[in-house]
Structure 1
Amino acid sequence: MKKLLYSFLILSSATLFAQKKLAVADNMIGTEDLFKSASPRMQVLKVYNTAASLPANLKKYSSVFTNGVSVYKLNKNNGFDKMSLAQLNKQINIPADNPVFIDGYEFTDSSTKIFTAIIAKTEKKDYNGKPTYFIYTTK
């Protein structure tokens, strides 16, 4: 029984560390790793530790950032490509207003923009009877 428990703990911790933590810059979704790798072009503006502490412009993400989020400030000429979730849906023939999942978190607002550099793997799956785009930040 102990071996089974230890195996489960090791597997779950490996899965947890494999996911990249989502972050926000100029109201666009990215990852901590992406923003840290661009440190001369980015700087941490504020860290919110709980969903309740999110400012009004980030409240729409409160279901995603339940444990808080880091907000970054973009310097001009950051060189990152950006795209709305609606545009991503259209590219693979999914209705623009369908939700998109990023690392298991559901984004229902299709006007939400993301940095395309976070996309490592994608899938088109059926979710609640609708074709849905799933984005993963790790392969």
Structure 2
Amino acid sequence: MKKLLYSFLLLSSATLFAQQNPSIRFAVANNIIGTVEMFNAKKTIVQSSKVYSSAANLPQTLKKYSFISTQGFTEYKIKNGYEGLDRISLADLNAQYDIPADTPVFIEGYEFTDTNTLVYGDILGKMEAKNYNGKKTLFISTSR
């Protein structure tokens, strides 16, 4: 009975770690991941934006982000001279936590398997290394 209960608790905790946050709306600018909230706070650097309501509407250049477009997706164009926002690759974030560079990273419950993906530093709120499916994995929350 203890083994059954332990197995259930382990499975449910793994499921809870990976739940997607439906309130987060991801965005991209210059092929770097951010959030709509982040860009709304930086309106002075935004030249234009285009909102896509579903993954089916994404242009070919953004199809690789279809897995995070469940709540819609926004593409931003940054004004010339303002492209220097802090950015970091998910592989570099993994390295900071002594996690192998190719280990997927979870951001708000969305699994990013391509660790070469760049993210803006402004979306990195709370970061925590947790055991997920027997591997040390980085989980990122955009809220501070």
TM-score by length of 2: 0.78
What does 1:1-139 align with in structure 2 at a 5 Å threshold?
Answer: 19-75=23-79, 76-139=81-144
Distance 2:102 2:70 in 1: 24
Does the 8 Å contact 2:30/2:77 carry over to 1?
A: yes
Alignment RMSD? 2.0
Deviations 1:46-93 (A, max 9, x none): 111111111122212212212320110112234420001011111111
Does the 8 Å contact 2:128/2:138 carry over to 1?
A: yes
How many residues get paired?
Answer: 124
Does the 8 Å contact 1:44/1:70 carry over to 2?
A: no
Distance 1:18 1:49 in 2: 14
Match of 2:7 in 1: none
When residues 129 and 57 of structure 1 are mapped into structure 2, their CA distance, relative to the original with a 3 A threshold, is farther
Secondary structure of residue in 1 paired with 2:122: helix
Does the 8 Å contact 1:51/1:67 carry over to 2?
A: no
Ranges in structure 1 where 5+ consecutive residues have no aligned partner: 1-15
Distance 2:132 2:22 in 1: 24
Ranges in structure 2 where 5+ consecutive residues have no aligned partner: 1-19
Identity %: 48
Secondary structure of residue in 2 paired with 1:58: helix
TM-score by length of 1: 0.80
Match of 2:5 in 1: none
Aligned-partner residue type, residue 71 of structure 2: N
Distance 1:33 1:26 in 2: 17
When residues 17 and 105 of structure 1 are mapped into structure 2, their CA distance, relative to the original with a 3 A threshold, is closer
